[in-house]
A and B are shown apart, each in its own frame.
Chain A
Amino acid sequence: RKEVEQDPGPFNVPEGATVAFNCTYSNSASQSFFWYRQDCRKEPKLLMSVYSSGNEDGRFTAQLNRASQYISLLIRDSKLSDSATYLCVVSGGADGLTFGKGTHLIIQP
C-alpha cells in the first residue's frame, strides 16, 4: 500500500521560533501536494498547495523534492495560533488522495 509518512510529534516550539517538518510519500507517480491544518476537534482546512518551484504564503513556506519524494513546511515567527495538527496530502496516480496522519505542533508562550 502506498503511504504518506509524517512525524506525529508533538513539536513543542517557543513562540517566535522557526519550525519545519517534512512529509515523505512513496508513490512516485504522485502529482499534487498540499498541506492542510486541523485544529483540535475541528475539520481539516487547506493551508496551502505545494508547487514544484516551492511557494510562500506569509510566514509559511512549502517545498517539494521530487527526487527524494518529500515535501516540507516551514513556519517562521511562530504564533500561539499556529498550534494545530498539520496534515500532508498527496494526490495522483492510482491511489487517488492520501492523507498523512499529521504532525502535532504546540507553540508555547
Chain B
Amino acid sequence: DAGVIQSPRHEVTEMGQEVTLRCKPISGHNSLFWYRQTMMRGLELLIYFNNNVPIDDSGMPEDRFSAKMPNASFSTLKIQPSEPRDSAVYFCASSFGRGPDTQYFGPGTRLTVL
C-alpha cells in the first residue's frame, strides 16, 4: 500500500520566491496534518485538516504561510515570499482520526531558502 506521498523531496530556492509543497494522504484517511521540523524548535504542528476543512491553524507562523486541501487526496502548503528562516523539513501526516497514534508521516520535504 502506498503511504503518504510528498513532493518535492528536496527544494532549494532563493529568498522571496514562492514555494509550494504537496501532499497526498493515505487513501481513506480523513485527517491531514502539516508539520515543520528544525533542530532548534523540533517538530511543530502547523495546521490540521479534518474532512478537507482546516480545523486548527494556530501553528501557522505568519501570513506568508497558507495551506489548502481542495479534496480528500491532495493538500498544499505554500510559502510566499519565502525567507531563510523557513528552511526546515516539512512533513505531512494523515490519519483516520485525530490522535498521534494513528498518524502516518510522509518522507518530508527538505526546504532550503538561500
| A residues at B contact (CB < 8 Å) | 32, 34, 36, 42-46, 49, 87, 89, 91, 96-97, 99-102
User: Is B42 a contact of A101 with CB atoms below 8 Å?
Assistant: yes
Scan residues 70-113 of chain B and give those whose CB is less than 8 A from a CB of chain A: 91, 99-101, 103, 105-108
Q: B56: CB under 8 A from chain A?
A: yes
Task: Please indicate which of the listed interface residues B48, B91, B99, B100 has the most CB atoms of chain A within 10 Å of its own CB.
Answer: B100
User: Is A46 a contact of B56 with CB atoms below 8 Å?
Assistant: no
A45 in contact with B100 given A99-B42, A102-B42 (CB within 8 Å): no
| A to B CB contacts below 8 Å, 22 in the list | A32-B100, A34-B100, A42-B107, A43-B105, A43-B106, A43-B107, A43-B108, A44-B43, A45-B105, A46-B101, A87-B43, A89-B100, A91-B100, A96-B45, A96-B48, A96-B56, A97-B100, A99-B42, A99-B44, A101-B41, A101-B42, A102-B42
Scan residues 12-50 of chain B and give those whose CB is less than 8 A from a CB of chain A: 41-45, 48
Interface size, B (range): 10 to 19
Q: How far is the CB of A97 from chain B (nearest CB, A)?
A: 5
| B residues at A contact (CB < 8 Å) | 41-45, 48, 56, 91, 99-101, 103, 105-108
The 7 closest A-B pairs by CB, nearest first: A101-B42, A43-B105, A99-B43, A89-B100, A49-B101, A34-B100, A97-B45
Task: Add 10 more A-B contacts to A32-B100, A44-B91, A97-B45 (CB < 8 A).
Answer: A32-B99, A45-B105, A49-B101, A87-B42, A96-B48, A97-B100, A99-B44, A99-B45, A101-B41, A102-B42
